[in-house]
Amino acid sequence: MTHPYQLATEAADELRVRSGVDSYDVAIVLGSGWKEGARALGTPFAEVATGTLRGFVAPTVVGHAGQIFSLDVNGVKVALVSGRVHLYEGYTADQVAHPVRTVIAAGARKVVLTNACGGIDPTKGPGSVVVIKDHINLTATSPMEGDVPPAPYGSRFVDLTDLYSRRLRSAVLEAAPELSEGVYVGFRGPHYETPAEIAMARTMGGTLVGMSTVLEAIAARHMGAEVLGLCLVSNFAAGVADAPLSHLEVLEAGQAATSSLGELLARLMPVL
């Protein structure tokens, strides 16, 4: 078996050749609803299908296609990663972390993880964008499980004290003062939670719930990247509002928010 870091290094070399980008500055992983918005950042000069890169597995979720778009945003080299994969698709923590490890191995020192999520805070309804201040990983797994990471990567016992970069968070809140911060609770899914589980998450200090982001954030921090997390609240979590949850509702909320997400990303680029 090829080790995860070697696989990411090889995929990064392939990505460099196919995109013509020697080294990226920023990577943005696009969650549901964010892909269309990211068009506001400009027209990509290269588009690489992740199916052609080593170690990438195929997304099975509607609305997630596997591509890496390369853009130059005022001199900043940006990789837009579309087609995230999740534990609930049957993939391992290493497979989930592979796209993020690849773009970091291809140079990106800053990683923006975007997602669509459920909201626990009744004052932050569907359409709200929330900056991740911290997370609670309830997936019962970690991308650090397994062999000891090779040099030059640090210990598998990675320090998560400043997982979501304080520096990036304050820069983002200054540039977009209408945003607020929240604590993201990562579940495995793919079922949505029970009202009792959401009550537990709230008691723990959680304000957002989702099925992505946490493993990618840990892997990115371990590789020394600065991490920013942006959540689009697509639905109220179970028991917060009266309505039942549907995946269609999630996709629709993403569609509805598309132009404002693009405008927001464009506004944040200068502080990244």
Q: Does 137 contact ligand 8IG by CB under 6 A?
A: no
CB nearer to ligand 8IG: give 102 or 137. 137
DSSP assignment letter at 88: G
Q: Does 116 contact ligand 8IG by CB under 6 A?
A: yes
Q: Does 192 contact ligand 8IG by CB under 6 A?
A: yes
> To 10 degrees, the CA torsion angle through 149, 155, 156, 160?
-130
Q: What are the C-alpha distances in Å from 272 to residues 132, 161, 168, 269?
A: 15, 20, 7, 5
CB nearer to ligand 8IG: give 78 or 232. 232
Q: Which of 250, 261, 268, 269 binds ligand 8IG (CB under 6 A)?
A: 250
Stretch of 56-64, 111-119, 221-229, 262-270 lying at the interface with ligand 8IG (CB under 6 A) = 111-119
Stretch of 81-89, 149-157, 169-177, 187-195 lying at the interface with ligand 8IG (CB under 6 A) = 187-195
The token duo for 22 is: 């020697």
Q: Nearest CA to 26 among 226, 244, 248? A: 226
The token duo for 87 is: 């534990």
CB nearer to ligand 8IG: give 66 or 210. 210
Positions in 222-241 near ligand 8IG (CB under 6 A): 234-235, 237
Tell me the C-alpha distance between 24 and 205, whole Å.
Answer: 35
User: How large is the greatest C-alpha to C-alpha distance in the chain, in angstroms?
Assistant: 51
Q: Does 208 contact ligand 8IG by CB under 6 A?
A: no
Site string for ligand 8IG, 19-38 (x = CB under 6 A): --------------------
Return the sign of the alpha-carbon dihedral for residues 91, 206, 111, 269. Answer: positive
Identity (one letter) of the amino acid at 9? T
Q: Which residues bind ligand 8IG (CB under 6 A)?
A: 116-118, 187, 189, 192-193, 209-211, 234-235, 237, 245, 250
